[in-house]
Structure 1
Amino acid sequence: MSKSNTLFIGLDVHKETTDVAYVSDKLDDRVQYHGTINTNLRAFNKLLRYFKAKANKLCVTYQAGPCGYWLYRHLNSHGIECWVVAPSLTPKAPGDRVKTDKRDAMTLARLARTGDINSIYIPDSCDEAIRDLIRCREDAMLDYRQAKMRLKSFLLRHGHPCTGRQNWTEAYRRHLGAIHFLEPAQKIAYQHYINIVTEQFERLQHLNIELETLAQSWRWYPLVQRLCVLRGIRFLSAVTLVAELGDLRRFNHPRSLMNFVGLTPSEYSSGTRQRLGAITKTGNTHARRILVEAAWSYRFSPKVSEEMQKRLQGHSAKLQNLSWEIQQRLCKRDAKLRARGKEKNKIVVAIARELVGYIWTLHCRLTHKVRQ
């Protein structure tokens, strides 16, 4: 029996099991269901040996999910083409109301043969490692905030409300140390809350130091430094944006990047009627949050503060001038939208959307590495 030229394999990957379906590149062949295997390297290696005997080339497709990209890297190490597709971008018939693992695997194999699905961007292992550390820091920040809220709630219940902004400084620690409780149980509970906040704060500071150290040897560190010339974007914001967005050269136009972070308005138009809705909020939520937070800083008049001057040091005069032009442009646009009576949240989104275009420019135009 002759081998097929190309065999398209669809995988529905789960934590413990994976359903497998395949189809050849011949249009008259039907999709075949292979069965269910265990989700481990031994089972996948056995599966690959079986399919290599049936075709000259293998093309494996599976949907992105909580299992990560280890399977993609394992297949690439064996020289096998692999596509990782987004579940939200997988075509589905409106009347299809039946969903099973078997049908999902067969659908992926069929769509791969017809070319109706595209693979998402896969970061390399180093980029993913930096991104994991950044998200670990974000989790530590949330744990730190929750610990402080529990402490403040405890103090509020017992007549010691916290007013204003409290930073975890030595002066504030002395203030907490001056608060006493008569009941032994309350003393224990109070000290427990303080210890948790202290521990979370030290853990957060440790992660900040580790991130700054590891980022200096990262291949995208020059881009991180370049983004720090923008108003509202410091080191943590810049490294988060670069880690979450990945290689920006894969976007041929800044509007493609705007669509990726979900800052473009949705649209439902028909005939002569045009209707624009809220932003799509698709793509990377971490990057969109950082961009919106940075956009709030353009509410104020253009200014090169002392902290901004330190960030501009070491950069070329061309980049410093571009930073000032961007700041003037966005601050002027913010003022113009406020004068027109626009809602402040819509203004911030508009500024964040335009800021995305300048980020694309800083990466692609100044480095002269735009993908042709």
Structure 2
Amino acid sequence: MAKLHRAGELTAVWVPDPEHEAVRELVRAREAPMEDLRRARHLQSFPLRHRPSSVDQGAYTMAVRATHRAAVQYLVLAEYRQAIEAAEIRLKRLDEQVAEAVSSWSMAPVVAAYQALHGAAFLTAVTFVTEIGDVRRFDSPRQLMAYLGLVPCENFTGERIRRASITKAGNGRARRVLIEGAWTYRFPARMSRLLQERQAGLTKAVCDIAWKAHVRLCARYRKLMARGKRQAVVTVAIAREMAAFLWAIGQEAEPHGAT
């Protein structure tokens, strides 16, 4: 190990501190009620399973109400509704706990700066920071893209290079929230009231980077779609560039107590 260190062959590994691990576990705990809520909402197809086929749309409401008056079916519907309400209450409670924990966290300035970027709302920014940490540990945006698994696989055959789908290496949670955020760039670029509120109090450098990303990625989304690319491929491409802009914003925002 000493010889490898002297030769510069060792790669430094980022180890989160106890506070960072605690916030990360809290954010990850939110995934369970989120999945429960998503699964419970699928149960809302219950009325459709009992929709009479012989009635028109105008008589549908009366027919469904009559069907639900059956005792057993009413209990089933009540259980479905209670499952949805319980998941929503638990999710809301965890959202409040995450917001409270982040407010006193050393990485709070970084979370606030990331929210200047379109498609990176509070939960997206928090998830990205808890999973990736300080992006300044990456020397370039390309390193961050590769770490997230958002770069294509490469197969070498002699001098021929064949590129395939993305590697999906690295942190899957951070990659997922970026891809979810990339969907918002399918609309034309505009400064919404909510985005203005998120950028209030941030430095001009951060806001300039965010607006540059907004204009570029919205135009790139439309351009790739016009070229006939599949929407999933376009979204991943936008997510990859989002990571680069988040890296740039991370160079401008410093955590509390950073030296």
Select 1:212's aligned residue among 99, 117, 128: 99
Aligned pairs for 1:28-43 (under 5 A) are: none
Question: Which residue of structure 2 aligns with residue 284 of structure 1?
Answer: 171
- Alpha-carbon deviation of 1:350? 1.4
Aligned pair partner of 2:37 in 144, 150, 154: 144
Comparing 277-286 with 298-307, greater Cα deviation is found at 298-307
Q: Does 1:321 align with 2:214?
A: no
Give 1:171's aligned residue: none
Residue type of the partner of 1:298? Y
1:332 matched to 2:219: yes
Aligned to 1:276, what secondary structure does the other structure show? strand
The answer for the alignment partner of 2:24 in structure 1 is: 131
2:134 match? 247
1:308 partnered with 2:195: yes
Aligned counterpart for 1:186 among listed residues 49, 59, 73 = 73
Partner Cα separation in structure 2 for residue 217 and residue 323 of structure 1: 24
Residue 273 of structure 1: how far off its partner (Å): 1.2
Amino acid of the residue matched to residue 48 of structure 2? L
**What is the distance in 2 between the residues matched to 1:361 and 1:119?**
21
Q: CA deviation at 1:188?
A: 2.3
In the superposition, relative to structure 1, how do residues 320 and 120 fare at CA in structure 2: closer, same or farther (>3 Å)? Answer: closer
Amino acid corresponding to residue 183 of structure 1 in structure 2 = A
Q: CA 1:295–1:179 in 2, change beyond 3 Å: closer, same or farther?
A: farther
Give the residue type in structure 2 aligned to 1:125. Answer: P
Higher RCO by CA contacts (8 Å cutoff, separation 6 or greater): 2
Shift of 1:119: 6.8
CA RMSD of aligned residues (A): 2.8
Task: Provide the rounded CA distance (Å) in 1 between the counterparts of 2:194 and 2:109.
Answer: 19
Distance 2:93 2:254 in 1: 33
What is the DSSP-based 3-state SS (H/G/I as helix, E as strand, rest coil) of the residue aligned with 2:68? coil
1: distance between equivalents of 2:108 and 2:84?
32
- Quick check: 1:223 aligned with 2:114? no
Q: Structure 1 length normalisation: TM-score?
A: 0.60
Q: 2:48 aligns with which of 156, 180, 185?
A: 156
Cα 1:119–1:185, aligned 2, differ >3 Å: closer, same or farther? farther
State the 1:258 CA deviation: 0.5
- Structure with a larger share of its residues in strand: 1
SS in 2 for 1:301: coil
Residue 343 to residue 324, structure 1, CA distance change in 2 (3 Å): same
* 1:131 shift after superposition: 1.2
Higher helix share: 2
Residues 178 and 239 in structure 2, CA contact (< 8 A), matched pair in contact too: yes
**Aligned sequence identity (%):** 38
Q: Structure 1 residues 190 and 360, CA, compared in 2 at 3 Å: closer, same or farther?
A: same
Amino acid at match of 2:17: D
**What secondary structure is seen at the aligned counterpart in 2 of 1:269?**
strand
CA distance, structure 2, for counterparts of residue 182 and residue 271 of structure 1: 72
Q: 1:321 to 1:118 in 2, by over 3 A?
A: closer
Code of the aligned partner of 1:142: E
Corresponding residue to 1:362 among 244, 249, 255: 249
For residue 331 of structure 1, what is the amino acid of its counterpart?
A: C
Where structure 2 has 5 or more consecutive residues not aligned to the other structure, the ranges are 53-64
Q: Residue 196 of structure 1: which of 77, 83, 87 is its match?
A: 83
1:323 & 1:117 partners in 2: Cα distance?
Answer: 35
What is the SS of the residue equivalent to 2:15? coil
Structure 1 residue 120: deviation in Å? 4.3
